[in-house]
Amino acid sequence: MRVIIVGCGRLGADLAYRLFQREHDVTVIDQVAAAFDNLHSRFRGRTVEGEVLNQDVLHRAGIEHTDGLAAVTNSDTLNAVVAHVARTVYHVPHVVARNYNPRWKPLHEAFGLQAVSSTTWGAQRIEEMLYEAEVHPVWSSGNGVVDLYEFVVPEHCQGRLLREILPAGPYVVVAFTRAGQSIALTRELPLEAGDVIYLSPTPEGRELLRSWLTSQQRA
């Protein structure tokens, strides 16, 4: 896969090396030559110095033949414009933009871009990890649009039913495992301590689970 990374800060450099390790053809663009010092010493991809909105710079990076582009500078405006141009002008099939400041997220949404906000995602994950409860986030798509939570049944819930220990709400039970084996789960199945239930809530369901966890901790 041929990939262009725009921005060689810590995020861009780490992403470039990760892709390079997986034997992808990686080109990194940055307007400051010193930024390439952030790249891992074993990185062997290409680097292109110059203003990314300059058509010649994009051509030198090989944008006409690239399979993916990630715009990960610390400028939301630049990321949005570059990603939009890559997708609509050069028809790059896989384009992702970094959302640096959450206040600028509507800009990415206006362009219809796939955007990742490390600030929003990180804050959400840290908040959830601070809860001392049996429900933990284990996977998230994008910026938390789709989440997967793991609920480990505690000892005091042995023999109880799922509907008795979890509040009804807008979430879906995705999977259920017992002793490492996946089995069908109904709300009438008696639970055993150590059973693992995977839930995917809507944003409203996520708030309901958080409120429920808080009430459990205070009980």
**Domains held by the chain: number:** 2
What confidence score (pLDDT) does residue 132 get?
Answer: 46
Q: Which of 1-5, 109-113, 204-208 has the highest mean pLDDT?
A: 1-5
- CA-CA distance, 108 to 145, in Å (whole number)? 15
- Chain Cα centroid distance, residue 194: 28
Structure tokens at 78: 């630049």
**What was the pLDDT predicted at 151?**
80
Please, are residues 13 and 39 in contact by the beta-carbon 8 Å criterion? Answer: yes
Instruction: Give pTM, 2 decimals.
Output: 0.66
Domain end, chosen from 116, 143, 164, is at: 116
- Decide: 113 and 97 in contact? Cβ < 8 Å: yes
Task: Provide the domain limits for residue 196.
Answer: 121-218
End position of a domain, from candidates 116, 135, 162: 116
Whether 9 and 110 share a structural domain: yes
Look at residue 157 in the predicted model and tell me its pLDDT.
Answer: 83
Of the listed ranges 18-22, 100-104, 120-124, the one predicted with least confidence: 120-124
* Separation between Cα atoms, residue 46 and residue 31, nearest integer Å: 14
Q: Which of 36-40, 110-114, 129-133, 184-188 has the lowest average pLDDT?
A: 129-133
| pLDDT higher than 50, residue 194 | yes
Give me the sheet containing 196-201, strands edge to edge.
135-141, 146-152, 196-201, 171-178, 181-182
Residues 47 and 111 in one domain: yes
pLDDT tens-digit series, residues 145-178: 677 888 888 888 889 888 787 777 788 888 889 8
For residues 130 and 192, membership in a common domain is answered with yes
Phi-psi region of 62 (alpha: psi -120 to 50; beta: other; left: phi over 0): left
- Rounded mean pLDDT of 55-59? 95
The string over 119-129, giving b where at least 16 C-beta atoms fall within 10 Å of a residue's C-beta and e elsewhere, is ebbeebeeebe
pLDDT at 196: 87
* Chain position carrying tokens 């600030």: 119
Instruction: Report the CATH number at residue 76.
Output: 3.40.50.720
Q: Are residues 99 and 34 in the same domain?
A: yes
